[in-house]
Amino acid sequence: MAKKTVASLQDGNKEGRSYTKVIKMVKSPKTGAYTFDEQMVPNEKVQDFFKK
């Protein structure tokens, strides 16, 4: 019964699948410590996110 409920939730709107969560490590110029830059970007912009 749970599988049927989950399947019905994913059936209608597929807009959420057009975004990807990306995480990039960025080194701080002041301290030298690494921080994480996390963003939700459209699938088409994933490569652009990692280039900058």
Q: What is the pLDDT of residues 23-41, one digit of tens each?
A: 999 999 999 999 999 999 9
Portion of the chain with pLDDT greater than 70, in percent = 69
Are the C-beta atoms of residues 23 and 46 closer than 8 Å to each other? no
pLDDT band at 6 (very low <50, low <70, confident <90, very high): low
Boundaries of every domain in the chain: 18-52
Q: Which residue's structure tokens are 């019964």?
A: 1
Q: How far apart are the first and last CA of the chain?
A: 46
Query: Can you tell me the distance from the alpha carbon of 34 to that of 32, in angstroms, rounded to the nearest whole number?
Result: 7
Q: How many residues does the chain have?
A: 52
The larger pLDDT score, comparing residue 27 to residue 16, is at 27
